[in-house]
Homo-oligomer: A and B are copies of this chain.
Amino acid sequence: MSASVFNHVKHLQFEARPDGPDAAFARRLQDALGGRWGALTVANQYLLQGWTCRLPGKYRDLLLDVGTEELAHVEMLTTMITRLLQDAPLTTSETEDNPAECAEIYSAHLVQAGAGPLLADSNGLPWSGSYVTASGSLLADFHLNVGAEAQSRLRLARLFHMTADTGVKQMLRYLLARDTMHQNVWLAAIEELRADGIEQMPVPEAFPDAAPEADYAHTYLRFSAGDDAPAGRWADGPAPDGHGDLSYRSSAPPQGEPPALPPADPRLYCS
């Protein structure tokens, strides 16, 4: 097949075959597909960051490589969920030997999707475009991507311990390995951006913070009654942004007035 913009190959990136059906786990796996930090989020986030990337070359390639790979993870997860739903009990009476298994079933898997996945999380909350951030700032987005992969890995690792199915475990292990690589990738990309002189911390670096308020950029203010916060790295020593030293203040006296609001337009009937 000659090249079109996106090409799809029928083979899966990695096998997605459970030892047997498990409708209750199919529900839980929805978090890895359509949850806040699931595969749909990172696929869309990296592709959108790539399509809108203004720096041609390696950064754009990087984003489109990883984003396109995540589409293949979406496919693996939809395949796995469909297989886990095979022969799912339709009624309570069909699972008298294991009522709990029936009870955790996501009836929408059966009623809405005909024993297939939904683009939703394990609670049936539909995946939302608001989960995706492509801000135009590579450094801001790469930091967010590190966080996204960490959250994703955490969820996959927890799911790994919730099943004894070796086929499911093998797929989760593969997805965990790829997310480890993606964590590595975004951390390396942060290094690269700095090495290339494109952006430093804080994001955006270029904003002129040299006003009187700039002092507040390195001062820890206490708002909660514990006494342990000053023991942390965040209260003392050079700031991670390289622009000063951190300091600690045990209170944060207000600098603004108590606000007094004038009456509203009478046509709005405010009190």
* 28 A/B residue pairs, CB under 8 Å, sorted by A: A2-B253, A3-B254, A5-B8, A6-B223, A8-B224, A10-B258, A11-B257, A12-B256, A13-B256, A31-B111, A53-B271, A58-B226, A66-B223, A108-B123, A111-B155, A112-B135, A113-B134, A114-B264, A127-B128, A144-B151, A154-B269, A174-B213, A177-B217, A183-B201, A184-B218, A188-B234, A188-B246, A193-B271
Neighbour of A65 across the interface among B13, B88, B229, B264, CB < 8 A? B229
Least CB distance, A153 to chain B, in whole angstroms: 6
Which of chain A's residues 223-245 have a Cβ closer than 8 Å to chain B? Answer: 223-229, 231-234, 237, 239-241
Neighbour of A115 across the interface among B16, B185, B268, CB < 8 A? B268
Do A222 and B5 touch (CB < 8 A)?
Answer: no
Closest to A73 in B: B5
Do A103 and B114 touch (CB < 8 A)?
Answer: no
Least CB distance, A237 to chain B, in whole angstroms: 8
Do B153 and A204 touch (CB < 8 A)?
Answer: yes
Least CB distance, A124 to chain B, in whole angstroms: 2
Do A140 and B154 touch (CB < 8 A)?
Answer: yes
